[in-house]
Amino acid sequence: MTTKKTAQKPTATGSGSRKSSSSILIYINGKLIPKKEAVISVFDHGLLYGDGVFEGIRAYNGRVFRLKEHLDRLYSSARAIVLKIPMTPDEMQKAVLETLRANNLRDAYIRLVVTRGVGDLGLDPRKCPRATVIIITDSITLYPKALYEKGLSVAIASTRRNIPEALNANIKSLNYLNNILAKIEANLANTPEAIMLNAEGMVAECTGDNIFYVKGKHLVTPPTAAGALNGITRHCVMQLASKVGLTAEEKLFTSYDLYTADEVFLTGTAAEVIPVVKIDSRPIGDGKPGRYTQKLIATYRALASQEGVSIPS
């Protein structure tokens, strides 16, 4: 990895201090470049056609949480669209860690993007000889702290999830227009998130998060076949369920099951675990974050703060 002469290499300290957002360094194709100079070609097919894949990853207390799982999913998504990533997973991991180190970040959000690369104005991916690799490391606040304590009010969108035969949700691609259309509905309804149903009317996921409900001692989430992304945080929460006294399962369900649930919550790398207390203006349970949701929030945060690949100092 090389660094442009214009980019000063930050001195790492053990204090957890960080560069300001305006002065962060962005990794692009092997170079660390100042944010204001970090650009890609207008002929990049990631820009022209949403042709590429990405991952959102978190670092806590100087460790990158579930980095291997995120990289495995990135490379699986790339294989599914016949996109050759010009780095091995080990090289990618080193690049992620070096970018965090260069920006002196111990707690961060990492956006890892691989596009088809520069081509022409046609669709043909064969015209793109080499993929573009971008690593952005910065902070993120998806929801205000108060919403983790009071819970979200969400709406069910009329926009249906893409059918798997058209674009499989397990491909974490740059083409997010389906989700954005549902997000626009959430904005118009003055809610921070929207639930998406699949073509058969079954609950799939939200615009940027997976969804769970609790009924009795059962924790339920849609299967990936319903149109849900196989989320890393989703999988982690299912593993943690038994620690809080729940049995986790995947099964198809409808909006009725959400309306009549004891508790509902969302999961995602950026969102972590966040309670839902209203859906379509209907209160869920007693209209407050449920006790199992609160336990899972605490259990997940404890795990994320202790586990992960260390960022070099």
Whether the per-residue pLDDT at 17 is higher than 80: the answer is no
Please tell me the predicted confidence (pLDDT) of residue 20: 65
pTM > 0.75: yes or no:
yes
Minimum mean pLDDT among 1-10, 67-76, 118-127, 284-293: which range?
1-10
> Which is more confidently placed, 45 or 7?
45
Please tell me the predicted confidence (pLDDT) of residue 1: 44
Please tell me the predicted confidence (pLDDT) of residue 19: 62
Please tell me the predicted confidence (pLDDT) of residue 140: 84
Q: Would you put residue 170 in left (φ > 0), alpha (ψ -120 to 50) or beta?
A: alpha
Please tell me the predicted confidence (pLDDT) of residue 226: 96
> Which is more confidently placed, 140 or 184?
184
**In this structure, are residues 251 and 220 in contact, taking their beta carbons and an 8 Å threshold?**
yes
Q: Which amino acid is at 219?
A: L
Q: Of these residues, 68, 172, 251, 288, which one is catalytic?
A: 172
Q: Is 172 a catalytic residue?
A: yes
Helix extents (H) in the chain: 45-49, 67-80, 89-102, 145-150, 177-188, 232-240, 255-259, 291-304
Please write the tens of the pLDDT for every residue from 108-158. Answer: 999 999 999 999 999 999 999 999 999 999 988 889 999 999 999 999 999
- The residues, any chain, with a CB within 8 Å of residue 282's CB and separated by 6 or more, are 259
Tell me, what DSSP letter sits at residue 225?
G
Whether the per-residue pLDDT at 5 is higher than 50: the answer is no
- The 3-class secondary structure across 94-140, one letter per residue, is HHHHHHHHHCCCCCEEEEEEEECCECCCCCCHHHCCCCEEEEEEECC
* 168: its two tokens: 């499989």
Mean pLDDT of 88-93: 98
Whether the per-residue pLDDT at 248 is higher than 60: the answer is yes
Environment class of 101 (CB within 10 Å of its CB; exposed 0-12, middle 13-18, buried 19+):
middle
Distance (Å) of CA 224 to CA 55, 230, 261, 305: 17, 6, 21, 27
The domain segmentation of the chain, as residue ranges, is 2-7+19-139, 145-304
Minimum mean pLDDT among 22-26, 93-97, 108-112: which range?
22-26
Task: Count the neighbouring beta carbons within 10 Å of the beta carbon of residue 121.
Answer: 10
Task: Count the neighbouring beta carbons within 10 Å of the beta carbon of residue 33.
Answer: 18
| Cα radius of gyration (the chain) | 20
Query: 299 in helix, strand or coil?
Result: helix
Please tell me the predicted confidence (pLDDT) of residue 12: 31
- What percent of the chain has pLDDT above 70? 93
Mean pLDDT of 30-51: 97
* 198: its two tokens: 């699949």
Whether the per-residue pLDDT at 16 is higher than 60: the answer is no
Please tell me the predicted confidence (pLDDT) of residue 18: 53
Q: Which amino acid is at 231?
A: G
Q: Are strands 63-64 and 203-206 parallel, antiparallel or unpaired?
A: unpaired
Fold of 145-304: D-amino Acid Aminotransferase; Chain A, domain 2 (3.20.10)
Return the bridge partners of 61, or none.
none
**What is the band of 23 on the pLDDT scale with cuts at 50, 70, 90?**
confident
**What is the band of 13 on the pLDDT scale with cuts at 50, 70, 90?**
very low
* 259: its two tokens: 């309306």
Task: Count the neighbouring beta carbons within 10 Å of the beta carbon of residue 29.
Answer: 14
**In this structure, are residues 172 and 77 in contact, taking their beta carbons and an 8 Å threshold?**
yes
Whether the per-residue pLDDT at 312 is higher than 70: the answer is yes
Please write the tens of the pLDDT for every residue from 43-84. Answer: 999 999 999 999 999 999 999 999 999 999 999 999 999 999
CATH fold match for the domains 2-7+19-139 and 145-304: no
User: What average pLDDT does the structure give for the chain?
Assistant: 93
Mean pLDDT of 85-90: 98
CATH placement of domain 2-7+19-139: 3.30.470.10
Mean pLDDT of 21-49: 95
- What percent of the chain has pLDDT above 90? 91
* 79: its two tokens: 């294989």
